[in-house]
């Protein structure tokens, strides 16, 4: 059986936290606990400061196994307003990642 994962293209993530909120609602996590954390990354360039937002799955992320089992997308992927998250097999996502220079690939245990 192929291994599944989550691809996050953070170049276009605007830090809206829709993925984070959807995850917390889906799993009914209490305050301070969740399947995603949004990190802000600041890079000083010669003429400006670049801000990137990186939604990164935590140890609680199970890629919404119950939702996926019903044929649905993980809650974070469905809720992403900037359409910067994809779910699929690692092989499919690795091919897609070739086209996305600012992306991370997450696979749970």
Query: pLDDT of 7-31, one tens digit each?
Result: 999 889 999 999 999 999 999 999 8
Q: What does the alpha-carbon distance between residue 19 and residue 84 come to, in Å, rounded to a whole number?
A: 10
pLDDT tens sequence across 25-72? 999 999 889 999 999 999 999 999 989 899 999 999 999 999 999 999
Number of structural domains the chain divides into: 1
What is the pLDDT at residue 24? 96
**CATH code where residue 43 lies:** 3.30.70.20
pTM over 0.85: yes
The confidence band for 1, taking pLDDT boundaries of 50, 70 and 90, is confident
H or E stretch covering 105: strand 103-106
Place of tokens 């609680």: 60
Of residues 72, 53, 50, the one with CA closest to residue 63: 72
Domain hosting 47: range is: 4-106
Of residues 45, 48, 29, 46, the one with CA closest to residue 37: 29
């Amino acid at each position: 059986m192929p291994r599944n994962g989550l691809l996050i293209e953070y170049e276009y993530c605007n830090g809206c936290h829709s993925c984070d909120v959807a995850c917390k609602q889906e799993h009914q996590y209490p305050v301070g606990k969740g399947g995603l954390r949004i990190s802000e990354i600041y890079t000083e360039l010669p003429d400006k400061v670049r801000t990137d937002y990186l939604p990164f799955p935590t140890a609680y992320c199970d890629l919404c196994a119950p939702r996926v089992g019903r044929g649905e997308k993980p809650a974070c992927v469905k809720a992403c307003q900037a359409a910067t998250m994809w779910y699929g097999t690692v092989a499919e996502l690795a091919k897609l990642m070739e086209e996305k220079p600012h992306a991370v690939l997450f696979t749970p245990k």
